[in-house]
Structure 1
Amino acid sequence: MLNRRFTCQIHQLIHHCKPTFFNFFPLRTYRNKSPTGINSETYRKKSPTGINPEVIDYLTLSLGFSSPQALSLCQRTPRLKTLENPRSVVYFLKSLGFSDTQIRCSVNTAPQILNAHIDKTLKPKIKLFQDLGLQDYDLGEFFSKNSALLNSSLERRLIPGVDFLKKLLLSDKDLLLVINRGKRILGKDPEKVLKANSEYLMECGIVGKQLSMLLRRQPRLFLMKLGDLKKLVARAVYMGASVESKMFVYTIQTLYCMSNDTLMGKFQLFYEFGFSKVDCADMFRRMPNVFKTSHEKLKFGLSFFLNTAKLKKTVLVNHPFILMSSMENRVIPRHKVLEILMSKKLLKQQPSFIAVLYLSEDVFLDKFISKFPSYADELLAAYKGHLLESLEEKETESIT
């Protein structure tokens, strides 16, 4: 049971946040324009004082940057004066198995690495990730997307961050996945950001495997300001989620990755099919992930279940999970099989369509197709016909 003090804090946040409750994450759009169509010689002549034209030539001729890009990199790295260190760094990265493209991407994101000391700075930082299992091409691919890590402090950021993430994830194999998804997660002070947020989530009852799952799926959530994270939790409670429910973590995940406009658009879709606000609130509490389903899939699913399968709205409210099922590969084929069996009066009574959807593939085949060998071909055609048609289309396309 969670203590009363924590519950009171949540309700205080709700009280203060109601007026602007769904406007926590304003989006900003940044545009980065660079000149084009200017050759290297022009940039050599117009290079600002302090930029070595030979460095620009090296970046363009050896690393494949355009002249505008090369000049921009030099301006971002004022200490890039000579060619000796950049050449050594590029040679070192190639010796580790980095491709030219991977080196170019790494430099483009973090041009400061061209000035880095190889033995004192690059080697120990790269070794940390080699010890995690990255080698050769995979090592280069990782740093082509995360080269900013090479600018972070090994002792104050990388090692403490890796150690802290290992404790939360319960498995080393997920560590690289989290770092790739949460680009800046190792660039933050683990004591001030990761620890504070994870401890607050644990206060909310999100612990162990659930905390690990949330970190794998939404690592950037752990980089939020603590105040914003508390508002997100308050928003979940305001929408009816209970911090003592096992579904609370999925509510947090859903609300974090969706804007209020998108979420309200999904609710509006349900209203259009005759569901009440209470119905939607019940479904959101039972299965918040349903509202992450695309608008098109939800609309098609609602239409099929209500109009074709003739299910009552209460069935969908009580079993919202079926709206996440594959319509093409699971729902429609099984419905077709049941229609054939009922039309031929091969079943004593019509089975619950919901129960049928929950069956595993093997159990469904055994119970509704293999059991009727005289009609097996027809039933299989109804069940897997869409796959055969898709295969035939691909074969036709390959021939033409």
Structure 2
Amino acid sequence: MRPSIIRRSGVLASLRSGCHTFFFSSSIFPDAAAAADGPSSKPLSMAEYLVRSWGLSAAEASKVSKLSRGKSTQKADVVLNFLRSEGFEDSYIKKIVILLPDFIVYDVKNNLAPKLRSFVDMGFSKSDIIEIIASNPSILTLNLKRSILPKLEIWERLFGSRELLVKIVKKNRWCLWYSLEKRILPNLKFLREECGISEDRVSQAARLHPAFVGQKPEALHALVDRADELGMPRQSPMYLWTLYILQTVSKENFKAKRDLFMSLGWSQTDFSEALRKSPSFLSLSVDELRKKMHFYVEEVGCTPPRIAKNPSLLGFSLKKRMIPRFRVVEMLKSKRLWTVKCKFTTLVTFSDKKFVEKFVIPYKEEVPEVVKILEGQEGIPLALHSGDTTARAFRFGPLESTIHLGGPCFNPEKRVDSPTVVFGVELGQHCSLVIHSTGHSVWIGNPYGHEVGMPIVIWINHV
């Protein structure tokens, strides 16, 4: 097991050392004290207080007040002021208190602030923490030393770095809810010791699908039994992926898909071979699988066993990739322009960039139909015909606008000194071009984007 980056003693020491400048400001207490010392007036009931101060509806306030009977509104003021001072929106605060009625009287200094501060110490930003807690308020009920910190330590060890910990927990906020003793640790021990799965492979599975490690142990054992029945070798690179796929496919659904392939010409050996090579096809619906098999067999002319030997063919989109590309090939063949000795089952695997460069751009003037065939297909790179001052831009579809070079985002340092094609984008001589799409800037003159760390593949639905 890799040593953890977390120094738990250091984290705990920081919690004991006093207030963190990021979370927990002592300024929240004078407000409450001032309220207590103010002019005497008839105290509000808890329900009235929740409506007035927390923005709950009368029905919500009534329900919460019943579950927090006898609690102090002064303590609730401290909690409310603390959350607002740390950036929690009122809508988030309402959600938390409705789910956790006792939350309104949590101890800020000894409970809430240390928990939030522990996330800060682990590298989470303030907005990250608010987002995580708002999406799963129950995290606040967990014990800091016995639950939150040990889980962060285990997940960081599995993910491999603190940066990945922050990134993955933000996307999978239930990570911190899975029980260490009842789920995570037993599952890790089972996979390593009884299934013989290496630490690196388990970590890879955890990074991709944390819920796989967080499922009930009996459910994981059942998945392993199913994989064994299918003859999937435990040392296969596809083994853990097969377990994950089986987790998403019920036994009844699995049988329906296997029966479908048998009816379409696969043998049991074909099915087992396909499963061992790429089990992802099982995540598709029966209807999708039927349509794709029909296309490959009836339209393209593939034999069922050939598809079984390359089951990843079933993963491509029928409408967005398979049919349009097949029609482009057929169009070029009809014009006697198809000179490539390449099977369709190979070219369907080409990236959009490679397909456009090889089979669309060279023929767009002589056979404009190849452009029309792809009209409206999302995910096809924008094509540009550029000069020194303007670039006429069109998708494989109707002309939509003209992109002007220069302007406030013009970057004169990134230049193209000769006509070139970059990821399906044609650039003329001596031109620089910046394209803005969904808030991202891409310097086309820098073909690989390494120096500025920007992606160069452009997916633009409109300009």
- Give the TM-score range, shorter chain: 0.7 to 0.9
2:94 paired with 1:81: no
Instruction: Tell me which residue corresponds to 2:272.
Output: 281
- Residue of structure 1 aligned with 2:250, choices 242, 259, 271: 259
Residue 383 of structure 1 aligns with which residue? 374
Verify the 8 A CA contact 2:249 2:282 in the aligned structure 1. no
Q: Residues 140-171 of structure 1: CA distance to partner in whole angstroms, max 9, x if unpaired?
A: 22211122111111111111110110000113
| SS of residue in 1 equivalent to 2:49 | helix
Superposed displacement of residue 88, structure 1: 1.1
Structure 2 residue corresponding to 1:310, chosen from 277, 301, 310: 301
Of structures 1 and 2, the one scoring higher in RCO (CA 8 A, sep 6+) is: 1
> What is the identity, as a one-letter code, of the residue corresponding to 1:249?
L
Given residue 84 of structure 2, which amino acid in structure 1 is its aligned partner? K
Change (3 A) 1:61 1:213: farther
The worse-fitting range, judged by mean Cα deviation, of 142-151 and 376-385 is 376-385
Q: Report deviation, 1:119.
A: 1.0
8 Å contact 1:98–1:141 — kept in the other structure? Answer: no
In the alignment, what sits opposite 1:157? 147
One-letter code of the match for 1:286? K
Q: Which has the higher strand share?
A: 2
- State the alpha-carbon separation in 2 of the partners of residues 214 and 70 from structure 1: 43
Distance change in 2, residues 1:168/1:386 (3 Å): closer
Write 1 or 2 for the structure with the bigger share of helix. 1
From 60, 67, 77, give the equivalent of 1:69. 60
**Is 1:101 the equivalent of 2:99?**
no
SS at match of 1:358: coil
Q: Residue 247 of structure 1 is aligned with which of 238, 241, 259?
A: 238
Shift of 1:289: 1.2
Secondary structure of 2:45's match? helix
CA distance 1:57–1:266, shift in 2 (3 Å):
farther
Instruction: Tell me, in whole angstroms, the C-alpha distance in 2 between the residues paired with 1:87 and 1:122.
Output: 14
Q: What's the offset of the Cα at 1:182?
A: 5.5
- Deviation string 1:267-290 (CA, Å, 9 cap, x unpaired) is 233344343443323222221111
Find the aligned partners of 2:178 and 2:353 in 1 and give their Cα distance: 48
Amino acid at match of 1:302: M
State the SS of the aligned residue for 2:237.
coil
Q: How far does the alpha carbon of each residue in 1:69-109 deviate from its partner, in whole angstroms, 9 at most, with x for none? A: 3333344445x522111121111111111111111112222
For residues 376 and 385 of structure 1, do their structure 2 counterparts lie closer, same or farther at Cα, with a shift above 3 Å needed?
Answer: farther
Q: Distance in 2 between matches of 1:216 and 1:175?
A: 9
Question: Which consecutive unaligned segments of at least 5 residues does structure 1 have?
Answer: 1-51, 396-400
**2: distance between equivalents of 1:372 and 1:389?**
16
Structure 2 distance, partners of 1:97, 1:139, is 10
Quick one: distance in 2 between partners of 1:157 and 1:165? Answer: 12
For the pair 1:59 / 2:74, whether they are aligned, the reply is no
Task: Point out where structure 2 has 5 or more consecutive residues left out of the alignment.
Answer: 1-42, 379-393, 402-463
Residue 168, structure 1, aligned to residue 158, structure 2: yes
Q: Would you say the 8 A contact 1:177–1:216 is kept in 2?
A: no
Post-superposition offset of 1:291 = 0.7
CA offsets 1:250-276 (integer angstroms, 9 cap, x no match): 111011122222222322333443434
How big is the shift at 1:376? Answer: 5.1
For the 8 Å contact 2:371–2:396, the answer to whether it is kept is: no
* TM-score (ref. length: structure 2): 0.66
RMSD of the TM alignment (CA)? 3.0
Task: Look at both structures and tell me which one has the larger radius of gyration over its CA atoms.
Answer: 2
Aligned-pair distance for 1:374? 4.7
1:343-375 CA distance string (max 9 Å, x none): 122234652111111223333233323444652
Measure how far apart 1:180 and its partner are: 5.5
Instruction: Give the residue type in structure 2 aligned to 1:328.
Output: K
Distance 1:59 1:294 in 2: 48
Range with greater deviation from structure 2 (254-263 or 315-324): 254-263
